[in-house]
Amino acid sequence: MRRRNVNILLTGTASDSHTWNLVCLQLFLEELGYPVRNLGPCVTDELLTAACAADRPDLVVVSSVNGHGYRDGLGAVRALRGAGLRTPVVVGGKLSTAGRPDPVQRGRLLDAGCAAVFDDGDTGALRAWLDTAFGRRAVA
Ligand code: B12
């Protein structure tokens, strides 16, 4: 696999202690050729903001499966934007406990500055989004 010149910062959310979602997403993204730094679970907004400011990644991927993804994702993207960081952010996983995507909450995330919301854990859709967003970027 050729290594892409697009660095991804992968993170769990502040309240979410699940880890295998992050492990699998890291492997998935790395197999697509994207270098990944995985911050792990229970990442506070402050920690995410500091890591993003230090690393200057090309994309932040926020993963949440504990049912609080809309609230935590909103906090994360607002913290990044509040710190003046314009890095594209996508959020996905099992974002609510309703078992189906919530269009109102999804709209709030997009309004707050998310580039995409994947509320069905759809890695195929993420792959298609990455192809559109970064497909033309040169491989290193
Ligand atoms: C293992 C597990 C736990 C373990 C976690 C251990 C660990 N270290 O990770 C423990 C026991 C600690 C746990 C705790 C809890 N859990 Co739990 N847990 C699970 C379980 C059984 C499996 C999760 C897992 O590892 N899956 C394997 C990974 C690889 O798959 P995944 O998580 O689905 O992630 C994939 C996709 O979602 C997707 N995806 C994820 N993020 C993103 C992001 C993007 C951008 C994209 C595109 C895709 C994507 O890609 C991932 C990789 O393929 C699920 C039920 C289930 N069968 O899914 C419940 C589940 C996630 N847990 C749940 C809950 C409610 C909890 C607790 C709140 C329970 C409680 N009352 O204490 C706590 C949460 C504590 C917290 N602070 O977060 C609920 C969440 C409800 C919801 N979202 O609607 C679930 C769905 C169970 C259920 N059916 O109710 N849990």
Q: Residue 1: its pLDDT value, please?
A: 65
Q: Quote the pLDDT of residue 95.
A: 96
Domains, the chain, ranges and CATH? 46-99+112-135 (3.40.50.280)
Nearest CA to ligand 1 atom 11: 18
Return averaged pLDDT per consecutive 10 residues of the chain, 140 residues in all: 88 98 98 97 98 98 98 98 98 93 94 95 95 81
Q: What is the pLDDT, as a whole number, of residue 3?
A: 80
Output the pLDDT for position 140: 64
Q: Is 68 in the pocket of ligand 1 (CB under 6 A)?
A: no
- Distance from Cα 98 to the centre of ligand 1, integer Å: 14
Q: What is the dihedral of CA 30, 64, 59, 85, to 10 degrees?
A: -150
CA atoms within 13 A on the CB side of 131: 7
> In the prediction, which pLDDT does 137 show?
75
Distance CA 40, CA 24 (A): 12
